[in-house]
Amino acid sequence: MLAVAVDRLRPIVLPTAFGAGLLLLWQATVVVFDYPKVILPAPSDIALALHADLPVIWQQAIPTVRDTLAGFALATVLGVGLASLLSFSRLLRDALYPLIVVIQLVPKIAWTPLFIVWVGIGWQSRLTVATFIAFFPIFIAMMAGLEATDRSLVRLCRGLTATPGRTFWLVRLPASMPYLFSGLKIAITLAVIGVIVAEFISSSEGLGFLILKSAALLRTDLILAAIAVLCVIGLASYGLVHAGELAVRRWQGG
Chain residues that interact with another protein, rule: CB under 8 A: 150, 152-153, 155-163, 166-167, 170-171, 174, 251-254
Question: Which amino acid, residue 169?
Answer: W
Range 178-199 burial, b when 16+ CB lie within 10 A, else e = ebbbbbbbbbbbbbbbbbbbbb
CB of 162 to another protein, least distance (A): 4
Q: Which is nearer to another protein, 100 or 175 (CB)?
A: 175
Q: What are phi and psi of 162, to 5 degrees?
A: -80, 150
> Who contacts 41 (Cβ-Cβ below 8 Å, separation ≥6)?
30, 49, 220, 221, 224
CB of 174 to another protein, least distance (A): 6
Q: Which is nearer to another protein, 48 or 157 (CB)?
A: 157
Burial label for 251, CB within 10 Å (0-12, 13-18, 19+), is exposed
CA–CA distance, 177 with 170 (Å, rounded to integer)? 12
**Under the phi-then-psi rule, with left for phi > 0, alpha for psi from -120 to 50, and beta for the rest, what region is 206?**
left
Q: Which is nearer to another protein, 40 or 175 (CB)?
A: 175
Q: Which is nearer to another protein, 157 or 228 (CB)?
A: 157
CB of 175 to another protein, least distance (A): 8
CA–CA distance, 123 with 62 (Å, rounded to integer)? 12
Q: Which is nearer to another protein, 179 or 209 (CB)?
A: 179
CB of 184 to another protein, least distance (A): 18
Are 59 and 204 contacting, i.e. CB atoms less than 8 angstroms apart?
Answer: no
Q: What are phi and psi of 82, to 5 degrees?
A: -65, -40
Candidates 74, 72, 79, 104; CA nearest to 195 is 72
Four-point Cα dihedral 47, 51, 52, 54, nearest 10: 120
> Who contacts 132 (Cβ-Cβ below 8 Å, separation ≥6)?
75, 108, 111, 115, 194
CB of 142 to another protein, least distance (A): 17
CB of 239 to another protein, least distance (A): 24
Q: Which is nearer to another protein, 51 or 151 (CB)?
A: 151
Q: Which is nearer to another protein, 149 or 214 (CB)?
A: 149
CB of 254 to another protein, least distance (A): 4
